[in-house]
Structures are given as C-alpha cells and as structure tokens.
Structure 1
Amino acid sequence: MKSMLSIVKEQISSFYLILRLSAFEMKSANMNNYLGRFWEILNPMIQLSIYWFVFGMGVRKGREVPMDHGIHVPFLIWMVSGMVVWFFVNPAILNASKSIYTRLQLIAKMSFPMSAIPSFVIMAHFYTHVMLVAVVTLILQFTPYKLSVYYIQLPYFMFSTLVFLLALSLVTSTLSTIVRDVQQIVQSVLRMTLYLTPLLWHTDKLMVGGVDLTIILKLNPFYYLVEGYRASLLGTSWFVVEYYHYTLYFWALTLVTLIAGSILHLKFRSRFIDYL
C-alpha cells in the first residue's frame, strides 16, 4: 500500500509536467503529416467503416443489437459507441508499455519521477480520445440517441479508464524494460482482446457444451468500460448503479493491479538504466 501511495503522490506532484509532456508528445506524433491531427479522427473512421461492412452488414446482416431495458440499437451506432474506447486503450497500452525503455535520453537528461513517463504517454492519447468522443457525440445528435442526462456518467468512465491504464502500464512498462519480449506478449494479448470484448459482436449467452461462459467474458475489465461508455452515450441505463457488482469488481481489480504495478516499478526503477 505504501508503494501505491508513493506512486499516487508522484503523479499528483508531477501533474503539470505530465500535461506539458503529453501535449508535446501529441504534437510531435503528427508534425510530419500534412493533415496533422486530422489523422487521429480519419484513421478510426476508416477502420469503423471496414468493421461495419464486415461485421454489421456481413455477419449480422444489418440486424439491430439488443441492450438494457428492451432497447434495440442499430449495429453501426452500437459499434461506434464501444469502439471509441478501444481506439484509446489500444494505442495507450502499446505505447505506455514501451514508454520507459524507448526514452533513455529523456530519463538521462531530466529529473522527474519515472512513473510519470507512462502517464504522459497515456495522457497524450487521452487528448485524442476526447476529440473522438466529441465527434461521436456530434454524430449521435443526428440519430435518436441525442444528449441525455446519462452523459453525466461519461466523465466517471473516462476517469476509470485513465486509472486502469495507469495501473496496467506500471506493470507492463516495468516488465517490458526488464524483458523486451513482454512487449510482444502485450501486442498479442491486445489482438485477442479486440475479439474477446463486446466491440464487434454481441451475445447474451456464450454456450459451449451446454455451459454458459458469458461470465468469463465479463471478467475482462474492458467489458465494464465499453458497456459503461455505451450506456452513457446511448442513454440506455445507469450502468454504474444497475451493475454495481461489476463496478465493485472493476475497482477491486484496478486496485490490485495498481498495487502490484507500484511495487514492481519502485523495486526495479533504480536499475532501469542498467536494463536499457
């Protein structure tokens, strides 16, 4: 617990620095492109078009997706409201995992907590995420799923996503610095996670040999975040309260991950230069 509190204090004390470095990170990522930051919106839209054609028109043949309280949502809207989370967490996890060992010069020249390095990488992707959520929200205003009181859940789920990504990145960035193969494992797991999370397909029951395995899929913490975003953007339920058991599970898992990541990070960071 002391390790976790130390990491939290470092994040708070370095908050201004994290914001500045994340802003620079985002600008430098697009400085050589003529369209600049527009690619941060264009790329997801291109991918969504492909997913909609393959899964929406091909696999589901245009059928609507059932949600809470008997509400049925067109597949495209259902997919977009969930994929907006994936377009944040996927690059954030990948880049935060390799953030320490790819920034040797930054570590050597500047004096600040190393735990801030994954944080500013995640925050750089969060800026793009906010822009994408704004675009999706604007698009939804031309559908039956307009702004509603359920949107007040959205900041909570954004905060939840940031905290979980920080906790996870402390684990993966430390292990990736010690053993480079971990980065390859992270990439492989994320590829599987895309299809193990209700992003492109929906099921009420996953029956295998007469046994319902749906609960296993719901142990995935991204299930909680994705469904929470959907409930907020589409106004289908008070997800935090109605599924309080998932809320408790998510925060318990996040706390355990944060404690484990903090212990790992503090134990090995004095030797990061040796591994680099």
Structure 2
Amino acid sequence: MAKIIGAILGFFVGGPLLALLGFVVGTFFDRGLGQAMRFNYGAERERIQNIFFDTVFRVMGHIAKADGRVCESEIAQTEAIIAQLDLTGARRQDAINRFKQGSDSGFQLEPQISDFMTVAKSQPLLRQMLLEALLTMALADGEMADAERDIVSRVAGYLGVSAHEFKRLVDMVMAQRQFHGGGSYSQSETSGSELKKAYQAIGVEASASDAEIKRAYRKLMSQHHPDKLVAKGVPEDMMKIATEKAQEIQVAYDLIKKNRGSK
C-alpha cells in the first residue's frame, strides 16, 4: 500500500523518476511494517517478565547467603515474601528454585545482571523496580545488614545507578516503610520525626514548595502504576510490591498535606 501511495505522490511532485523513487521507498516501508506486525509483543513481554522474576529471586538468594550461610530466619523471611506475593503452585516452586540457585556457592551475580540488562538497558523504570524489589526484600526484617547492602549496591552499580542516587533510593525505601499498612499519626507526631520521614519517602526536602512536592508525588505514583509496570515487563504476580509502595507514598503525601494545611 505504501509503495503505491509513494509512487503516486512522486509522480505528481516530479514525474516518472520521482514516482519510481516513491515506489522503492514505499516498498521498504511496507516490509518494515510487515515485520513489525509479525513481531510477537506478548511473547517478548513474557520473556522480560521471566528474566525479571528470575533475577529478583536469584539475587535474593545471593543476598541471603551474603553472610556465608542461609539461616532459618532468612528462609522464613523468604517464605513470608512468597506468601505476601500470593505465589502458589508451580510459581511458588519456581521462586524457591531461583532462590536456591542464587544461594548456591557457584552463583555469579554479574552474568545474572548482564542477562537482565539485555531487556532493561533502555528501560530505567524496569531497573528502578528491580532495585526497589531487592531493597524491599532485604528490609523485610526491618533492617539491612552491611553485606546485604553491599550486594544491592553492586547491583545498582551494574545497572548504571550512581552511588548518590542509590543512597537516595535506599533512604526513600526505608522512609516509605514507616508508612506501611497506612499508619496512624497524631498531630504532635506530624511536626517531628514522622514528618521528616514523610518528606524522605517522597524524595524531597522539607523546604520544597507545594508545587515541587506535588510533582514528586505524581511522578512516584506514575512510576508505580500497575498498568505501566506490566507494560514494561514487571511480572503481574510481583505487582503487589508496587501497589504497597504506592500506598506508602500516598500515606506520606497525605501526612505532608495535612501538616502544611494546618499552618
């Protein structure tokens, strides 16, 4: 179709010579369009989702082994995370198998992240979600050991995240955890440490303007929107992490608005 249109336009613009040129250009366009229409986007998204899933649980196993051995509490923590994500049946067993692979003494972090980067190199949101998932899991027991932080920091470096940006992300995730489950804060708390955590959870300074805070909040909520994440390749059964993260951000933002509105 494009080659016919190109030939007609070429003829009216410049006669037979440009008509021939339009026909040739249109032919290449038709071929490209045909290839694009034959491309299986569903299969490609599934491939990205599988790599994301594999990377999360293998690196999680590697983190659990960071201190030299996987202890019972870390296994229980992993089981709790799997339950939190509502993984059942074959999917649950897949997660356990990936975790065991990552905790094996022969596991190498670099090839796994290299595999992940084949699908995430041009997807900054996908890279950020991987780091958030790893940090959320590493902090599941309320703290992150130095050895765990070192591994996640190395992952961040491999993903092209600077040390400064990684520290900022860690501070945000740790602050957001304070608002897990909705929280309940009295007026006196909103003027102290909890308010400080709320600003950290949004990623802004307390001196930021209302407009700056709203922009930061909207950006975070957009980044954690389920439809956008699924389209980028985050597995649907891991969407609960993003949903809970969005809820924590919402609570923090509401706390800031309440405090500023009371001034």
**Larger of the two Rg values belongs to structure:** 2
Fold conserved between structures, TM > 0.5? no
TM range (shorter): under 0.3
